[in-house]
């Protein structure tokens, strides 16, 4: 095995070295450009509107997995009830902007409040659970997710139970009067977001903002504290990190991002009901983070897009049988995850630190690996042959 | 312990086999939307959406609805209008009988540019699709949405070819009273359909001086012991389960296990499925369960016999629930297009309001306004009374009509 991969590596080494010289920012810019151009393909008639909808959902899941990545990837806490925070955001938005209570709050106020309410929920669940470690935390968060869902089903006066809240108003980016005063100006239409392409750009902007915020945070003191806690809590605490505070910050922040995504989801889907917040959804988001690469922001983005868009692509490829495809979706997920765990446990685009941890190294190779890691850090050339 | 390399190769091979196997499986099933005749080159294609639930808790109802539409596609799918030939293409989308999914499906139907939609299957799912179809002005005819409050906003884009549960609920109550019930438990699954039907039946029972108890569960529940315990304490003569068959079968089974086999078990159209027998734990458990349905008894439906023959010939099975109503829904939509002389949705909606259509289930039109229990878009047909609601009882494996 090592002989084969070694040979492959020696062949691809110059190529990889060339790619390594390209600054990371270039890839980010290329990815962003691709994401920005994608809806234009629909305008030009190359792709169907259905794909635009897949795009919007993928972006929403990108945001969700970026949020989960904070607790799972950076801080190393397994959260299996993550979708509950998504639900908090979605239901807050639905109640404040639908015929249910005859309310239509301004977009920014709704999104801000949805985020804050999800954060409060994160704080409340964090207080008791952050004392737990590992498996126990996973179990408690799993139960939390189910409790939230069952509460939504039974709190009929507020949530309409299993029937969900329908007819959520589309977001208006300016006040009604301001839009009316613009009259027939072509871009005035864009201020009321009600077409797939408009939702796409709205969500894209939000995702970019969140991604930039998080990548800065990752490299800050806070981010390093999270990583230290993940690696060795005892050591981290002894260097002066307040474990409780750092963990709470990560849980609350990730809950807030889920609430934000939930608000956008409620606006976009027009209808929300408890079936959108099943345990399975939490698992899918966990899969996205694991597949993409825990702790790696580009990886998590890729993982979310792959897991959200791939089933749709296969569904389209299967043509008329698309409704039957749904049955096998989970099977494919399973296969992908199994293969990933065997061949690339660190994820598609792994974080440097994670990669170095997830492969068990032959003692004879250790020195070589150490050398190559050192070279990578130095940005010289890949010596591994 | 296998060598690591062998393990990896095996894993990869397994993955490839699974994925390809999958394509072969789905490949076998791509016989959807069989076209009626040879479409000539000059025919203009129009799209009609079929929003149903092929996966989720009610695949049997969903398949029957799709089959009904496919039969109708063969019979009415190609037609002449103003010297032009039109060929209908159906777009089948699955809403899993879930409200949220239904909203997405409705938006996809808008994207597909359909001129009309047959569906959806269930009341709960339809509630989230109705405002979207109303906004984009797409006429929608359902063959199975019986919920009395489905069209609470009285929009002019929603029509149905099945009977409202306002009538079925009264029929259920009347039947329970005829059977001598003095104490009745009503049980719903918190969904729009079940709650609506239970509300109507409960009101009618109380009017008839019957003592009632309301219980509920969730769609997908596997343990109903709490409800069974409440029922046992109340000691009713009959239980009316207004939800769907998966939970109804389970309830029947768990009631028998708790020694409540003597309680008369009744339900609405949601339990009148062949699946109910298996879900109740076999013929012994299911024997003697009663169900009503939202339409005329089959022998009073003028076109039923011919329809059942065609259905059996094409699909090799007996007519599934609401297949003929969906057949009629498609037929009525095509008739409206012809009456309008146009494929513009606004013209079709206008035509539907004055349409009188002779279908399998009888000659009907649609109510033009909401009045009392009748909502806008409800089917209007002679003889639409609780007394005409068909009654079924399980004998062996099958639901058999009760005289």
CB atoms within 10 A of CB A128: 10
Judged by CB atoms closer than 8 Å, whether chains meet at B127 and A325 is answered as no
What share of chain B in percent tops pLDDT 70? 90
Is residue B111 less than 8 Å (CB to CB) from chain A?
A: yes
CB atoms within 10 A of CB A136: 12
Q: Give B149's pLDDT tier (boundaries 50, 70, 90).
A: confident
Judged by CB atoms closer than 8 Å, whether chains meet at A269 and B108 is answered as no
> pLDDT tens across B211-236, in order?
999 998 988 889 999 999 999 999 99
The reported pLDDT for the residue numbered B383 is 84
Residue A115 has pLDDT above 90, yes or no: yes
User: How far apart are alpha carbons B48 and B69 in whole angstroms?
Assistant: 10
Map out the domains of chain B with their CATH numbers: 44-163+300-366 (3.40.50.2300), 166-293+389-401 (3.40.50.2300)
Residues in chain A with CB shorter than 8 Å from the CB of B128 are 164, 166, 270-271, 273
The reported pLDDT for the residue numbered B348 is 94
Residues in chain B with CB shorter than 8 Å from the CB of A327 are 55
Residue B375 has pLDDT above 90, yes or no: no
Among A92-101, A120-129, B159-168, B383-392, which is the least confidently predicted range? B383-392
The reported pLDDT for the residue numbered B200 is 92
User: How far apart are alpha carbons B175 and B180 in whole angstroms?
Assistant: 9
Judged by CB atoms closer than 8 Å, whether chains meet at B93 and A272 is answered as no
Is residue B94 less than 8 Å (CB to CB) from chain A?
A: yes
Judged by CB atoms closer than 8 Å, whether chains meet at A270 and B22 is answered as no
Is residue B353 less than 8 Å (CB to CB) from chain A?
A: no
H-run or E-run covering B117: strand B116-119
Judged by CB atoms closer than 8 Å, whether chains meet at A318 and B27 is answered as yes
The reported pLDDT for the residue numbered B19 is 63
Complete DSSP assignment for B315-363: HSSPPPTTHHHHHHHHHHHHHHHHHHTS--HHHHHHHHHH--EEETTEE
Q: Minimal CA–CA distance to A356: which of A163, A194, A227, A182?
A: A227
Judged by CB atoms closer than 8 Å, whether chains meet at B108 and A50 is answered as yes
Judged by CB atoms closer than 8 Å, whether chains meet at A270 and B128 is answered as yes
User: How far apart are alpha carbons A324 and B30 in whole angstroms?
Assistant: 10
Residues in chain B with CB shorter than 8 Å from the CB of A161 are 190-191
**Average of pLDDT values for A89-103?**
93
Nearest Cβ partner for A318 among B26, B112, B218 = B26
Residue A316 has pLDDT above 60, yes or no: yes
Longest dimension (CA), chain B: 77
Among A152-156, A339-343, B52-56, which is the least confidently predicted range? A339-343
> pLDDT tens across A56-71, in order?
999 999 999 999 999 9
Residues in chain B with CB shorter than 8 Å from the CB of A276 are 100
Residue A85 has pLDDT above 80, yes or no: yes
Sequence-distant (≥ 6) Cβ neighbours of residue A170 within 8 angstroms: A192, A193, A194, A267, A270
- Give the total residue count for chain A: 385
Instruction: Check if the beta carbon of residue B104 is closer than 8 Å to that of residue B129.
Output: no
What share of chain A in percent tops pLDDT 90? 40
Among A366-370, B364-368, B375-379, which is the least confidently predicted range? A366-370
User: How far apart are alpha carbons A263 and A105 in whole angstroms?
Assistant: 13
Nearest Cβ partner for B128 among A271, A321, A335 = A271
Burial A81-118 (b: 16+ CB within 10 A, else e): bbbbbbbbbbbbbbbbbbebeeebebbeebbebbbbbb
Q: Give B23's pLDDT tier (boundaries 50, 70, 90).
A: low
Complete DSSP assignment for B236-269: -SEEEE-S-HHHHHHHHHHHHHTT-TTSEEEE-T
Both tokens assigned to A217: 């945070």
Judged by CB atoms closer than 8 Å, whether chains meet at A335 and B55 is answered as no
Sequence-distant (≥ 6) Cβ neighbours of residue A28 within 8 angstroms: A298
Residues in chain B with CB shorter than 8 Å from the CB of A48 are 111
The reported pLDDT for the residue numbered B38 is 45
Is residue B189 less than 8 Å (CB to CB) from chain A?
A: yes
User: How far apart are alpha carbons A232 and A219 in whole angstroms?
Assistant: 18
Burial A35-47 (b: 16+ CB within 10 A, else e): beebbeebeeeeb
Instruction: Check if the beta carbon of residue B163 is closer than 8 Å to that of residue B384.
Output: yes
ipTM over 0.85: no
What's the whole-number average pLDDT of chain B?
A: 87
> pLDDT tens across A330-362, in order?
677 778 778 887 888 788 888 777 666 666 555
Both tokens assigned to B111: 């994207």
Is residue B270 less than 8 Å (CB to CB) from chain A?
A: no
**Average of pLDDT values for B98-107?**
87
The reported pLDDT for the residue numbered B372 is 78
> pLDDT tens across A127-141, in order?
988 887 767 888 889
> pLDDT tens across B259-291, in order?
999 999 999 999 998 889 999 999 999 998 999
Is residue B19 less than 8 Å (CB to CB) from chain A?
A: yes
Sequence-distant (≥ 6) Cβ neighbours of residue A320 within 8 angstroms: B29, B30, B31, B32, B33, B92
More confident residue, B37 or A273: A273
Among A317-326, A368-377, B189-198, B357-366, which is the least confidently predicted range? A317-326
Nearest Cβ partner for B192 among A48, A50, A163 = A163
> pLDDT tens across B304-348, in order?
999 999 999 999 988 988 999 999 999 999 999 999 999 999 999
Question: In 3-state terms, chain A is what percent helix, strand and coil (to 5)?
Answer: 75, 0, 20
Instruction: Check if the beta carbon of residue B49 is closer than 8 Å to that of residue B119.
Output: yes
User: How far apart are alpha carbons A233 and A244 in whole angstroms?
Assistant: 11
The reported pLDDT for the residue numbered A383 is 45
* Mutation to test the A interface, candidates B4, B26, B131, B152, most A Cβ within 10 Å: B26
pTM of the model: 0.80
User: How far apart are alpha carbons B378 and B149 in whole angstroms?
Assistant: 11
Among A20-24, A35-39, A261-265, which is the least confidently predicted range? A20-24
């Amino acid at each position: 095995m090592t002989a084969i991969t070694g040979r492959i590596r020696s062949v691809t080494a110059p190529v990889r070295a060339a790619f390594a010289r390209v600054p990371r920012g270039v890839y980010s810019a290329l990815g962003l450009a691709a994401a920005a151009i994608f809806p234009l393909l629909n305008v030009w008639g190359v792709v169907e509107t259905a794909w635009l909808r897949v795009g919007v959902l993928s972006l929403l899941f990108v945001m969700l997995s970026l949020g989960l990545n904070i607790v799972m990837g950076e801080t190393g806490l397994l959260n299996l009830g993550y979708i509950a925070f998504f639900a908090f955001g979605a239901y807050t938005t639905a109640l404040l902007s639908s015929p249910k209570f005859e309310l239509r709050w301004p977009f920014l106020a709704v999104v801000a409040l949805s985020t804050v309410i999800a954060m409060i929920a994160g704080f409340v669940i964090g207080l008791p659970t952050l004392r737990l470690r590992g498996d126990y935390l996973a179990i408690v968060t799993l139960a939390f997710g189910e409790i939230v869902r069952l509460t939504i089903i039974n709190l009929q006066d507020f949530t309409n139970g299993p029937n969900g809240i329908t007819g959520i108003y589309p977001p208006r980016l300016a006040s009604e009067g301001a839009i009316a005063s613009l009259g027939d100006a072509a871009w005035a239409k864009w201020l009321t977001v009600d077409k797939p392409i408009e939702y796409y750009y709205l969500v894209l902007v939000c995702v970019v903002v969140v991604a930039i915020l998080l990548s800065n945070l990752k490299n800050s003191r806070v981010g390093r504290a999270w990583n230290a806690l993940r690696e060795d809590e005892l050591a981290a605490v002894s260097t002066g990190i307040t474990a409780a505070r750092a963990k709470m910050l990560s849980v609350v922040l990730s809950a807030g991002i889920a609430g934000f995504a939930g608000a956008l989801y409620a606006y976009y889907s027009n209808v929300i009901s408890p079936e959108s917040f099943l345990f399975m959804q939490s698992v899918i988001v966990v899969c996205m983070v694991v597949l993409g690469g825990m702790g790696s922001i580009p990886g998590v983005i890729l993982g979310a897009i792959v897991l959200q868009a791939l089933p749709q692509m296969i569904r389209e490829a299967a043509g008329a049988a698309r409704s039957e495809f749904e049955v096998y979706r989970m099977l494919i997920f399973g296969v992908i995850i199994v293969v990933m765990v065997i061949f690339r446990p660190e994820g598609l685009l792994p974080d440097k630190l994670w990669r170095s941890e997830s492969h068990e190294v032959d003692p004879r190779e250790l020195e070589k690996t150490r050398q190559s890691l050192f070279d990578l850090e130095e940005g010289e050339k890949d010596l591994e042959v | 312990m296998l060598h690591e390399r062998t393990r990896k190769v095996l894993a990869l091979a397994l993955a490839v086999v699974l994925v390809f196997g999958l394509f072969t499986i789905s490949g076998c099933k791509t016989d959807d939307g069989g076209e009626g005749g040879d479409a000539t080159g000059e025919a203009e294609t129009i799209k009609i959406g079929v929003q149903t639930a092929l996966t989720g808790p009610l695949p049997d109802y969903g398949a029957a609805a799709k089959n009904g539409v496919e039969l109708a596609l063969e019979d009415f799918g190609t037609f002449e209008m103003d010297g032009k030939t039109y060929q209908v293409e159906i777009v089948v989308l699955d809403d899993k009988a879930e409200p949220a999914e239904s909203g997405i499906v409705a938006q996809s139907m808008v994207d597909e540019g359909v001129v009309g939609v047959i569906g959806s299957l269930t009341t709960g799912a339809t509630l989230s699709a109705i405002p979207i179809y109303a906004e984009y002005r797409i006429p929608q005819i359902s063959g199975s949405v019986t919920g009395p409050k489905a069209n609470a906003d009285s929009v002019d884009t929603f029509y149905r070819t099945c009977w409202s549960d306002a009538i079925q609920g009264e029929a259920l109550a009347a039947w329970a009273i005829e059977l001598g019930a003095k104490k009745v438990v009503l049980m719903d699954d918190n969904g729009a359909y079940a709650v609506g039907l239970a509300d109507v039946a409960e009101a009618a029972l109380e009017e008839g001086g019957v003592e009632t108890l309301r219980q509920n569960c969730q769609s997908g529940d596997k343990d109903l012991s709490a409800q069974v315990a409440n029922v046992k304490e109340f000691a009713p003569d009959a239980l009316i389960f207004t939800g769907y068959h998966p939970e109804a079968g389970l309830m029947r089974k768990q009631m028998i296990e708790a020694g409540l086999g003597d309680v008369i078990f009744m339900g609405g159209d949601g339990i009148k499925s062949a699946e109910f027998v298996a879900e109740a734990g076999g013929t012994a458990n299911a024997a003697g369960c009663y169900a009503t349905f939202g339409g005329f008894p089959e022998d009073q439906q003028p076109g039923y016999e011919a329809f059942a023959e065609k259905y059996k010939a094409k699909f090799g099975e007996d007519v599934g629930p609401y297949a003929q109503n969906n057949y009629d829904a498609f037929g009525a939509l095509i008739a409206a297009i012809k009456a309008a002389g146009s494929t513009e949705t606004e013209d079709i909606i206008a035509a539907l309001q004055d349409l009188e259509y002779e279908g399998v289930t009888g000659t009907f039109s649609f109510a033009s306004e909401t009045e009392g229990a009748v909502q806008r878009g409800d089917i209007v047909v002679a003889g639409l009374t609780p007394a005409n609601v068909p009654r079924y009882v399980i004998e062996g494996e099958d639901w058999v009509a009760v005289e």
